Amino acid sequence: MRWRRATVSGVLAAAVTASLVLINVIAARVAPRFDVTATGEHHLAPRTARLIEKLDGDYEIVVAVNRSELDPNAYRQVRDVLDALDAATPHVRTTEVDTGRADGLERYRELVERLVKRDQAGLDAYDALAEQAIGASREVAVFLSDRVAPSLENLRDAIPESAPNASVNREAFAQRAEVARLAARELAQLADEAERTLDEPGAVPRPDRAGAVVLPGLDGVASQLAALSDELADFAASESQPEEARAIAGSLAPSASAMRDRAASPADSLRHAEPPDVLRIADALGQTDAVLVIGPDGLTAVDLGVLFPTALELEAMGLGSGDVRGRAEELFATAIGTFALPARPIVVLVHGEDRPILDATHAYDYLRQRLNVRGIDLVEWPCVADPDPPVLTELDPAGDRPVVYTTLTPDSGATSGGMNGVERAQRFADALQGLIDQGAPLLLNLNVSVLPTYGTDDPVEGVLDRLGLAGDLGRPLLSERVTARGRVVETDHVVRALDVDHPIARAVRGLNTKFTWPVPIDVKDSGATVLYEVGDGAWAESEWVRLRRTPRDQRALLPDPPEFDPGRDDDAGPWAVVVAGERAHDDGTQRFVVIGSNDWAVDPVAGEAITVDTVPRPANPGNAELFEAAVSWLAGQDDLIAESVESRVVPTVRGLSDAQLSGVRWLVIAGLPGLVLAGGIAWRVIRG
């Protein structure tokens, strides 16, 4: 009997142990993740999830770092992102290499060898270009020393003292001969140095360095030969000069021109050659630590310092662990997106100032930084000073990147660059009319205008009419609040997107978005979708000029601030302040987004910060998200519109819908009493 009980107990213990082992094995493989944080920081952002859903090739993220030199908390956060990416899709594989160990260094060397072998064809082609440049350098050096310098000295000697400007010409050609000999020696030395560079051992061959050595020399010599050829041709054509000297000059001029082309051609080829990926990140590969993203057709590196900040750097920047995780996710997603995403848009800021403003005012630095991380370029077009749009061939040589135009509408009551506000507004509107004629995607930001207060239409109203819209530009939306110091009139409105079925609205839903001095938009018969509205006590004010001219910090002291006047103003809201729509254009459609606020995307508004638990956070996260979502939608990249990492840095509590609110009420009123009654009945039935 005892043996039977012991046997049963042993079998039961073995079964329980086996079950526990099996459960742990399954859990390790399945690895369920439950994120209950307010910001959802432990799962991938919707935009990242949307990106990796579209992957159709295999990507590898390699983190080769010395673990002992990193902040443990920062590494743990990056590891969390890698785990999330690994679990989210079979198309992304992550590899960790600890270069602080001997076997880790060997694995890293093998990785570099694999990448070099993959790009060997591109390296060979680049190496051939470098060899051609070196060969051209030697050939031009010989030409300068053996042909140009002696010919110039002969030309000098062929000019008699009695010839016009003899002393000046003789001295000039003598100096030219000496310069040619010096240039020949320097070019030959550069060619020798470039060859030594080609032969230098290293994990990654560096023909780009050899090319960089000879490129300045070839450029300089090409410029000198072009000037010399023109000078000799002019001298040969001068009938006042001796025949012998003219003959020497006439013989040397075409040779100098031909040799100029010999120097310029390999230099241009080298300058415009597309280096293979392994060369672009060769400096990163040459280190013992690197973070790489390897795609089916490309390779890129992630900045180690940005990915793994030290504890002191985190403290200095006022960042927490969640910020490290968010930045890591954004860096990896952007790196993958450079290979997987379609062509990144170019955003052109159209404004009515008489000079460039992006670098001068720094008003869009916050927005530019966010766009640059995603590979989106922001350029400007001061259309009042230059009626022609900027040429974008340098940013987009192939011409396959979508171009989106956004605006900073001029103040119709302000003079700039010698032009009054009306002239600037008209030139600005003319530029927009041209964009509409072209069918260009347009993000139009409206500015409150003084012209309607004088009984004159603002020129921008004609642009709105072309889009099937109308705007009350002369009556901005104001609201009021009562403080201890009295009544204060507000010109800013913080609102959230409407619950409508539109890609832009879905990307910014639940996020606070601030609009300064908004004006109402009427969609008329355009069929445009209203994305944001302003209501709740606001009114459209006609007497606003004095308030606008008063500095913001002094408006509370204004003795007679604007107030609603039924005879002149309008309080029949809510009013649309952001709309998105499409219109037929030739054989396709033109997309547009119109926002009834002009300054909503500048740094003081979009980059405004608040402090949450001693950490700075965006006060209006919806502003930057709205801009990015609008750009993607206007560029026709609807599939890429979703919440980004930055949109989750502030916890948001979304309001209950009418159906949800009704359900909660019925649960409190009838659900709890009904549950108690049902429990009592069940108890009586059980007890009999």
Give 289-345 pLDDT, tens digit per residue: 888 888 888 888 877 777 777 666 666 555 555 567 777 887 787 778 777 776 889
Residue 265 pLDDT > 70? yes
- High-pLDDT (> 90) share of the chain, %: 33
Is the separation of the CB atoms in 536 and 493 below 8 Å?
Answer: no
Q: State the pairing for strand pair 377-382/346-351.
A: parallel
Confidence label for 649 from pLDDT (cuts 50, 70 and 90): very low
Distance separating alpha carbons of residues 421 and 441, to the nearest angstrom: 26
| Amino acid type, 325 | R
Distance separating alpha carbons of residues 180 and 145, to the nearest angstrom: 7
Beta-bridge partner residues of 492: 516
Q: Which helix H or strand E contains 432, and what residues bound it? A: helix 421-438
Tokens of 164: 């016009």
Q: What is the pLDDT of residues 24-51, one digit of tens each?
A: 655 555 545 544 444 445 577 777 777 7
The most confident of the ranges 78-87, 581-590, 591-600 is 591-600
Distance separating alpha carbons of residues 323 and 8, to the nearest angstrom: 54
Q: Which helix H or strand E contains 581, and what residues bound it? A: strand 575-585
**Order of all β-strands in the sheet with 299-302:** 92-98, 59-65, 290-294, 299-302
**The tokens 């992006």 sit on which residue?**
358
Global confidence as pTM:
0.65
Tokens of 189: 């030395």
Residue 414 pLDDT > 90? no
Whether omega for the bond prior to residue 574 falls within 30 degrees of 0, making it cis, is yes
Section 14-24 average pLDDT: 66
Cα dihedral sign, 651-654-660-666? positive
Whether omega for the bond prior to residue 46 falls within 30 degrees of 0, making it cis, is no
Q: What is the mean pLDDT of the chain?
A: 83
DSSP 345: P
Residue-level pLDDT at 586: 80
Distance separating alpha carbons of residues 444 and 464, to the nearest angstrom: 9
| Amino acid type, 671 | G
Tokens of 260: 């100029």
Section 245-249 average pLDDT: 90
| Amino acid type, 510 | G
- CB 73: neighbour CB atoms within 10 A? 13
DSSP 145: I
Residue-level pLDDT at 441: 96
**Which of 611, 651, 645 lies closest to 625, judged by CA?**
645
Tokens of 355: 């000079």
Is the separation of the CB atoms in 347 and 440 below 8 Å?
Answer: no
Residue 652 pLDDT > 50? no
Is the separation of the CB atoms in 479 and 453 below 8 Å?
Answer: no
- High-pLDDT (> 70) share of the chain, %: 84
Distance separating alpha carbons of residues 24 and 20, to the nearest angstrom: 6
Scored b (16 or more CB within 10 A) or e, 100-121 reads eeeebbebbeebbeebbeebee
Residue 161 pLDDT > 70? yes
Is the separation of the CB atoms in 397 and 365 below 8 Å?
Answer: no
Residue spans of alpha helices (H) in 31-165:
46-53, 72-88, 102-118, 120-143, 149-157
**For the chain, how far is it from start to end, CA to CA, in angstroms?**
42
Section 116-127 average pLDDT: 90
Confidence label for 137 from pLDDT (cuts 50, 70 and 90): very high
Residue-level pLDDT at 274: 80
DSSP per residue, 662-682: HHHHHIIIIIHHHHHHHHHHH
Section 336-363 average pLDDT: 85
Residue-level pLDDT at 284: 74
Is the separation of the CB atoms in 635 and 404 below 8 Å?
Answer: yes
Is the separation of the CB atoms in 561 and 547 below 8 Å?
Answer: yes
Is the separation of the CB atoms in 318 and 614 below 8 Å?
Answer: yes
> What's the Rg (C-alpha) of the chain?
35
Residue-level pLDDT at 656: 52
Residue-level pLDDT at 33: 52
The count of residues in the chain is: 688
Q: What is the pLDDT of residues 507-566, one digit of tens each?
A: 888 888 999 999 999 998 888 999 999 987 899 999 888 888 888 877 777 788 888 888
